[in-house]
């Protein structure tokens, strides 16, 4: 995504170059072309903000080129830049060797400790991240044979179980939540239910927890991914959480948070590395420390994904972090775009998704009442149906009375049967944005969480 620069141009300069209705002029080393937006501010009444047109990549050969009519605001969100490869490795090394608060990672271990690096779900630049942690442990005197990299599969609730391409960490051990023998009893929750966790974590002397801290717009706040619980719990715990989310929606989150804190406390986790993703799968920030402290730092760093936007735009155009990532990501993108769009507005999602939503979603769009569908799906015990029901619930809340237009790999008849607007090509979305009285552009919208300005 390429967003326009913001330039201050004096009124005489602007007037002299536009009095004759010029199509372009030079300012600040750039060529300014119509259309652009002109804003004055109370403190600088003779300075103006120029917003260029915006391009949006969405998985196609050619990107969208979005423009607004002269005088109509076009606001483009710019995801935070990040590091990859060796730069990502250096960023993590700096975080664990010189944290903002608390001792460095090397102070958490002594030679002879059995250390487990617990990678909770998908993390950006996982290979570089784990390599940096391993180097630090070895330099602290830990024998390579005493270091285990344990990879827990992501929960998948927020993305509909459509897994992205996963690059395993060299030498990593994959945890399978469906193998009960791979877990051990750790403690019981407040209701007396046993809580089992991956056996290597229970047996370790030191656990280094590694996970991503991000936003889940469809859940109205932080993502439930990236934590030890229930990533490293038994499959039954994952299923229970999925059912509870489907039944109660956001009301299930306090219980999840309570379990997450209980597990960290019982394991005695003091070394926690939280990563904040940057644009295109990079790392924007790495935060290390005690669980609460690392979480606070990561939340602050993740504010870059929370643009302040006044929800008055009539049209929002959104793309996905993984263009072909599935309808669950479309649900998240719609939830994010709705926070930046006024009621009755239009949300356009541009992506390469070519698999339609599931049966529960389709029946709801055909007019079936939502609540009975949710209970029916939960009663089946089928994980795919329950996940479909969860996304249907979240989607219904997010879209509300807005209109959805899809530019995707789905056939026209499929989109129309869902009663969404069908965009045959990028020019449809471009025309819609050009004619709108206010446009907001959200690249990687499924990771974005706009907040009221």
Whether the Cβ atoms of residue 136 and residue 105 lie closer than 8 Å to each other:
yes
Asked if 35 and 161 sit in the same domain, the reply is no
How many domains is the chain built from?
3
Asked if 90 and 229 sit in the same domain, the reply is yes
Asked if 272 and 313 sit in the same domain, the reply is no
Question: How many angstroms separate the Cα of 283 from the Cα of each of 243, 326, 446?
Answer: 32, 23, 17
Over residues 254-276, the pLDDT tens digits come to 989 988 999 999 999 999 999 99
Question: Where do we find the tokens 């643009």?
Answer: 307
| pLDDT at position 425 over 80 | yes
The number of beta carbons lying within 10 Å of the beta carbon of residue 305 is 23
- Report CA torsion sign: 337, 341, 344, 348: negative
Please give the pLDDT value at position 165: 54
- State mean pLDDT over 331-347: 95
Interatomic CA distance for residues 208 and 385, integer angstroms: 35
- Report CA torsion sign: 363, 364, 370, 375: positive
Asked if 205 and 299 sit in the same domain, the reply is yes
Asked if 244 and 372 sit in the same domain, the reply is no
Asked if 285 and 342 sit in the same domain, the reply is no
**HSE-up of residue 357 (Cα within 13 Å, Cβ side):** 28
Chosen domain end from 303, 320, 354? 303
Asked if 394 and 353 sit in the same domain, the reply is yes
Over residues 145-185, the pLDDT tens digits come to 999 999 999 998 876 545 455 667 888 999 999 999 999 99
Asked if 196 and 109 sit in the same domain, the reply is yes
Name 90's Cβ contacts closer than 8 Å, sequence gap at least 6: 83, 132
Interatomic CA distance for residues 405 and 428, integer angstroms: 10
Asked if 175 and 132 sit in the same domain, the reply is yes
| pLDDT at position 7 over 70 | no
CATH number, domain with residue 108: 3.40.50.11440
Asked if 352 and 443 sit in the same domain, the reply is yes
What is the model's pTM?
Answer: 0.85
What is the SS3 string spanning the chain? Answer: CECCCCEEEEHHHHHHHHCCCCCEEEECCEEEECCCCCCCCCCCCCEEEECCCEEECCCCCCCEEECCCCCCCEEECCCCCCECHHHHHHHHHHHHHCCCCCCCHHHHCCCCCCEEEEEECCCCCHHHHHHHHHHHHHHCCCCHHHEEEEEECCCCCCCCCCCCCCCCCCCCEECCCCCHHHEEEEEECCCCCEEEEEHHHHHCCEEEEEEECCEEHHHCEECCCCCHHHHCECHHHHHHHHHHHHHHHHHHHHHHHHHHHHHHHHHCCCEEEEEEECHHHCEEEEEEECHHHHHHHHHHHHHHHCCEECCCEEEEEECCCCCCCCHHHHHHHHHHHHCCEEEEEEEEEECCCCCCCCHHHHHHHCCCCHHHHHHHHHHHCCHHHHHHHHHHHHHHHHHCCCEEEEECCCCHHHHHHCCCEECCCHHHHHHHHHHCCCEEEECCHHHCCCEEC
Using 50, 70 and 90 to split pLDDT, how confident is the model at 3?
very low
Asked if 96 and 238 sit in the same domain, the reply is yes
Q: Highest mean pLDDT: which of 74-83, 130-139, 254-263?
A: 130-139
Interatomic CA distance for residues 330 and 313, integer angstroms: 19
What is the domain extent for residue 46? Answer: 1-52
Asked if 218 and 341 sit in the same domain, the reply is no
Q: How many residues are present in the chain?
A: 453
Using 50, 70 and 90 to split pLDDT, how confident is the model at 423?
very high
Q: What is the mean pLDDT of the chain?
A: 87
The region of weakest confidence among 17-21, 287-291, 322-326, 347-351 is 17-21
| pLDDT at position 340 over 70 | yes
Q: What percent of the chain has pLDDT over 90?
A: 70
| pLDDT at position 312 over 90 | no
Chosen domain end from 303, 336, 354? 303
CATH number, domain with residue 386: 3.90.226.30
The number of beta carbons lying within 10 Å of the beta carbon of residue 92 is 26
Over residues 15-26, the pLDDT tens digits come to 444 433 433 444
Chosen domain end from 266, 286, 303? 303
Closest listed residue to residue 244, CA positions, set 222, 264, 226, 259: 259
Using 50, 70 and 90 to split pLDDT, how confident is the model at 191?
confident
């Amino acid at each position: 995504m390429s967003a326009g620069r913001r330039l201050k141009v004096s009124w005489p300069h602007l007037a002299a170059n536009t009095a004759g209705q010029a199509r372009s002029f030079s300012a600040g080393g750039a060529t300014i072309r119509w259309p652009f937006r002109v804003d004055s501010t109370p403190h600088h009444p003779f300075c103006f903000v120029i917003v260029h047109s915006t391009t949006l990549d969405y998985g196609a050969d050619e990107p969208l080129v979005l423009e607004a009519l002269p005088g109509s605001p076009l606001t483009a969100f710019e995801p935070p830049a990040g590091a990859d490869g060796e730069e990502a490795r250096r960023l993590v090394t700096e975080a664990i060797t010189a944290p903002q608060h608390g001792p460095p990672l090397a102070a958490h271990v002594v030679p002879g400790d059995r250390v487990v690096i617990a990678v909770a779900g998908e993390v950006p630049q996982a290979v570089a991240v784990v390599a940096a942690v391993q180097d630090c442990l070895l330099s602290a005197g830990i024998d390579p044979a005493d270091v285990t990299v344990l990879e827990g599969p992501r929960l998948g609730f927020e993305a509909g179980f459509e897994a992205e391409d996963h690059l395993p960490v060299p030498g990593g051990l994959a945890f399978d939540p469906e193998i009960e023998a791979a877990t051990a009893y750790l403690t019981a929750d407040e209701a007396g239910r046993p809580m089992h966790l991956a056996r290597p974590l229970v047996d370790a002397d030191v656990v280094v927890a590694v996970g991503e801290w991000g936003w889940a717009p469809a859940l109205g706040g932080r993502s439930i991914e990236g934590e030890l619980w229930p990533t490293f719990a038994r499959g039954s715990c994952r299923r229970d959480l999925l059912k509870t989310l489907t039944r109660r929606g956001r009301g299930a989150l306090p219980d999840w948070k309570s379990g997450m804190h209980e597990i960290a406390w019982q394991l005695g986790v003091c070394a926690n590395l939280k990563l904040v993703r940057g644009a295109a799968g990079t790392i924007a920030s790495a935060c290390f420390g005690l669980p609460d402290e690392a979480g606070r730092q990561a939340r602050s760093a993740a504010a870059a994904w929370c643009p302040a936007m006044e929800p008055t735009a009539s049209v929002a155009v959104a793309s996905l972090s993984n263009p072909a990532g599935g309808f669950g990501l479309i649900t998240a993108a719609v939830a994010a775009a709705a926070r930046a769009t006024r009621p009755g507005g239009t949300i356009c999602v541009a992506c390469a998704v070519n698999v339609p939503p599931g049966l529960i979603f389709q029946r709801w769009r055909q007019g079936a009442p939502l609540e009975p569908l949710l209970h029916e799906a939960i009663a089946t015990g089928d994980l795919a149906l329950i996940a479909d029901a969860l996304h249907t619930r979240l989607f219904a809340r997010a879209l509300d009375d807005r209109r959805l237009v899809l530019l995707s790999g789905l056939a026209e008849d499929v989109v129309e049967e869902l009663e969404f607007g069908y965009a045959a090509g990028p020019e449809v979305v471009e025309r819609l944005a050009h004619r709108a009285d206010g446009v907001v552009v959200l690249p990687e919208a499924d990771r974005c969480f706009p907040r009221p300005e």
